[in-house]
Amino acid sequence: MSALRSEQALAVRRPLALPLIGAGALLAVQIGLLGTRHLLIGDFASALLVAVLLTVGNRSASPAVLAALRALAVVAVLPVLALGLPLGDGSVAAGTFLLAGIVAAIWFAAAPVIGINRAPAFSLRAPLSQFSLLLAGTGLGFLAYLAGAPRGWAPHATTAQIVLDGAALAAIAVAEELIFRWLLQGALQRIARRLGLLIVIALSAAVYVGSGPPSLVIVMAIAAASFSFAVDRSGSALGAILGRIGLVLGAGFGGPLLIGAAGIAVLHFPRWRGWEGTASLAIWLALVTVVAVRGAKGRASKGQAVRWR
Amino acid sequence: MSGLLPQLFQHAVHNRGIASASGTFGVVPVVLCLVLLFGIDIAGMRGHLGERGRMVVIIATPLALVAALTIAARIALLLA
C-alpha cells in the first residue's frame, strides 16, 4: 500500500521519474547482463522489466508518462524475442526475417495504443536531406567496419545466401528504426524533448555493448545520434531508415568487399580499434550528441508527427 | 550489423542445437506470456482493463508465437 502511494506521489510530482528509472534499468540490463554475455539472467531480467513497465503508473501517471513506459516495455521485450526464437542450427537469415516481421508487427499494433501516428513515419519530407542520410549511413557503415563490425555473411556462403543475409539485415534495420526512432523517441520526447533524445541514443547504442570493441559501440552511438536528430528535425523516419540500411550494408558487406584485407595496411585497422581510434571517435560522438540534443525541437511541439491522446 | 543481431549471434554461438536453445531461452517467453495473461485476467476481473490490456495483448501475442515455434521445433526434432 505504501509502495503504491509512493509510486503515485512520484508520478504526480516528477513526471519524468518513472520513465527515467525504467530507461536506467533497461540500460543496466543491456550493458551489465546482455553486454557481458550473461544471456539467460539478462533474458529473465528483460522479461521482468516488461512486466513491471506495463504495470507501474497505471493509477496516477499522465497519459504521456504511461505512453513512455509502454514504449520502454516494447524495447525491453525485443531481447526476449530475439533470444527466444529457436534458431540453433536453422537459417540465421530466416530467423532474422522472422524477427523483423514480428518487431514490425509490434510497432504497427502498439503505435496507436501509445498515441503515435504511423503514417508520417514514411512521409517524404525534405527528400534531398532524407536521401543524403543513405550516403551518411553508408559512410558510417564503412567506419563501423574499420572499428570492428563483423562481416555480414558466413565464410562459405553462396552468392544467393549473401544476398539473402543482406536483405535480412536491411529488414531488421527497418524494424528497429521504427521501434527506436519513431515509437520510443516520439513517446519520450513528449515529456522531455532533449532528455528523451539522449535516452533514445543511449538505449539504441547500448545494444552493441559486448558485440565488438568500444570503438564500434561509439560508431553506433554516432549513427544513433545522427538518425535521432534527423527524425526530430524532419518529422519522418524515412531518412533514418535509409541511413540505417546504408549503415548495416556498409558495415557488413560494403566494408569487407571494398576495403577488405587490402585496406588493413592503408587504413590502420588496429589504430581504429585501439585507444587512438576510440578516443577520436568519442570526441566526434560528444560533438554530434551536443548538436543533436541542443537542436532538438521535439516533434510533438510542432504537432507534425505525434498525435496527442 | 543490426542491433538485435548481437543477441542473435550470441544465441547461435552459445546454443548450437535447437533442443538446448529451446530448453533455456525458450522458457522465458512462455513464462512472461503466462504472467502477462494472468495479470490481464486479474485486471479484467477488477474492471481495470483498458489500453493496458490492449498493450499486454500486443506484447503477449509475439511471445506466444515464439513459444509455439519453439515447441514446433522440438516436436520436429523428436520426429526427425
pLDDT digit string (tens) for A43-87? 899 999 999 999 887 666 788 999 999 999 999 999 898 888 765
Chain A residues with CB under 8 Å of B1 CB are: 141, 144, 149-150, 152, 169, 247-248, 251-252
Q: Comparing A74-88, A102-116, A125-139, B11-25, which segment has the lowest mean pLDDT?
A: B11-25
Interface test with B, best of A40, A78, A87 (most B CBs within 10 A): A87
Residues 6+ apart with CB under 8 A from A78: A103, A179, B4
The band of A268, judged by pLDDT with boundaries at 50, 70 and 90, is low
**CA count, 13 A, side-chain hemisphere, A113:** 22
CB atoms within 10 A of CB A127: 12
Could you tell me the three cell numbers for A185? 523517441
Structure confidence at residue A179 (pLDDT): 95
The four Cα atoms A104, A185, A23, B1 give a dihedral, to 10 degrees, of 50
Residue in A55, A78, A252 nearest the CB of B1: A252
CB atoms within 10 A of CB A264: 12
Structure confidence at residue A309 (pLDDT): 31
Q: Do A210 and B25 touch (CB under 8 A)?
A: no
As to burial, measured by CB atoms within 10 angstroms (0-12 exposed, 13-18 middle, 19+ buried), residue A220 is buried
Chain A residues with CB under 8 Å of B40 CB are: none
Quickly list H helices, B1-80.
Answer: 5-14, 18-24, 27-46, 51-79
Kindly identify which residue of chain B lies nearest to residue A108, measuring between CA atoms: B58
Q: What confidence tens digit (pLDDT) does each residue in A123-152 have? A: 887 788 888 999 999 999 999 988 888 887
As to burial, measured by CB atoms within 10 angstroms (0-12 exposed, 13-18 middle, 19+ buried), residue A160 is exposed
Kindly identify which residue of chain A lies nearest to residue B49, measuring between CA atoms: A58
The band of B17, judged by pLDDT with boundaries at 50, 70 and 90, is low
Higher local confidence (pLDDT), A149 or A182: A182
Q: What confidence tens digit (pLDDT) does each residue in B27-41 have? A: 788 888 888 888 777
Asked if the C-beta of A165 comes within 8 angstroms of chain B's C-beta atoms, the answer is no
Between CA B42 and CA B56 the distance in angstroms is 12
Between CA A273 and CA A71 the distance in angstroms is 34
The percent of residues above 90 in pLDDT, for chain B, comes to 8
Structure confidence at residue A198 (pLDDT): 93
Q: Comparing A196-210, B25-39, B58-72, which segment has the lowest mean pLDDT?
A: B25-39
Interface test with A, best of B4, B9, B40, B65 (most A CBs within 10 A): B4
Q: Do A80 and B2 touch (CB under 8 A)?
A: no
Structure confidence at residue A307 (pLDDT): 42
The percent of residues above 90 in pLDDT, for chain A, comes to 42
Query: Integer distance in angstroms from the first to the last C-alpha of chain B?
Result: 33
What's the rounded mean pLDDT across residues A238-246?
94
Interface test with B, best of A52, A66, A85, A140 (most B CBs within 10 A): A85
Structure confidence at residue A107 (pLDDT): 96
Query: With 60 as the cut, is the pLDDT of residue B5 above it?
Result: no
The band of A302, judged by pLDDT with boundaries at 50, 70 and 90, is very low
Structure confidence at residue B79 (pLDDT): 77
The band of A306, judged by pLDDT with boundaries at 50, 70 and 90, is very low
- Write down the mean pLDDT value for chain A: 84
